[in-house]
Amino acid sequence: MDYTIIMLIVMVAIMYFLMIRPENKRKKKAQEMRDSLKKGDVITSIGGIVGRIVFVSKDTIVIETSDDRVRMELAKWAVSSVGVQSTEQPEEKKEDKKEDKKKELGDGEEK
């Protein structure tokens, strides 16, 4: 009976350290990032909108999304990250792939 109680306690501790604690750390870090937003920061929203902050209030921010001075108001919780998130490859790799593609097409025409 003592063994069962000890195993139950160990399992709860493992669950806490593997699941609950990392999630709480991630949430705390995200909240700190959102609380530290300031005018001039470039942000990416959870919807993928990129813009520069022009006004910060307690619960919202106002961003400019383009050179045309288009302004949008977003809730702070909608900010995904500070900076621009991009899944694109650096220009060098894109150019290399284009050259490889041209070579492949060129080889195919000769045959």
Spatial contact of 80 and 30, defined as CB atoms under 8 Å apart? no
Residues linked to residue 52 through DSSP beta bridges, in sequence order: 42, 64
pLDDT for 71-104, tens place per residue? 999 999 999 999 876 665 555 555 565 565 555 5
List helix spans (H) across 1-111. 2-15, 21-35, 91-110
Spatial contact of 44 and 84, defined as CB atoms under 8 Å apart? yes
pLDDT for 34-53, tens place per residue? 999 999 999 999 999 999 99
Spatial contact of 82 and 63, defined as CB atoms under 8 Å apart? no
Spatial contact of 50 and 43, defined as CB atoms under 8 Å apart? yes
Structural domains present in the chain: 2-83 (2.30.30)
pLDDT at 110: 47
pTM: 0.60
Work out the pLDDT band at 111, boundaries 50, 70, 90.
very low
Work out the pLDDT band at 8, boundaries 50, 70, 90.
very high
Higher confidence at residue 105 or residue 69?
Answer: 69
Work out the pLDDT band at 15, boundaries 50, 70, 90.
very high
